[in-house]
Structure 1
Amino acid sequence: MRQATIYITDNEYSHFIELAKNLHYVKRIETDEEPINDTILENIKAGLEEVKLFKKGKLKTTSAKDFLDEL
């Protein structure tokens, strides 16, 4: 299998991605947006883990008032 890198203007980007998705011989499309989505999911998972630790009493948090005072 071969791969290609294509540089395209922002105006034509979404049209080109839709076109590539409809080509039967295209097996996989990687965009620069995917790592951002992965980062978001990892941050959500980490946040949920912190909530679980807080509920178990293994993690201390600051009060909302203290948090807002720091801002």
Structure 2
Amino acid sequence: MTTITLEVQDKKLKFFKDLIKHLSFVKIKEEHLDEDTDEQVIENIRQGIKEMRLVEQGKAKSRPAREFLDEL
């Protein structure tokens, strides 16, 4: 078996995966890069908004920005 590495534009990745998924002789082995996918970024933003709303409603506590930055 031979391995081929391809670089595919993010916006075309789903289409490409769907296309090659139907080829019985192709196996997909995904390598996860350090970058988040678009879906992960969107989900992270949604989660942040939910947390912000809970803080605004008094259902969750926030912490000072300096404390957060010191952890980084």
Report the TM-score when normalising by structure 2.
Answer: 0.49
- Normalization by structure 1: what TM-score? 0.49
More helix by share: 1
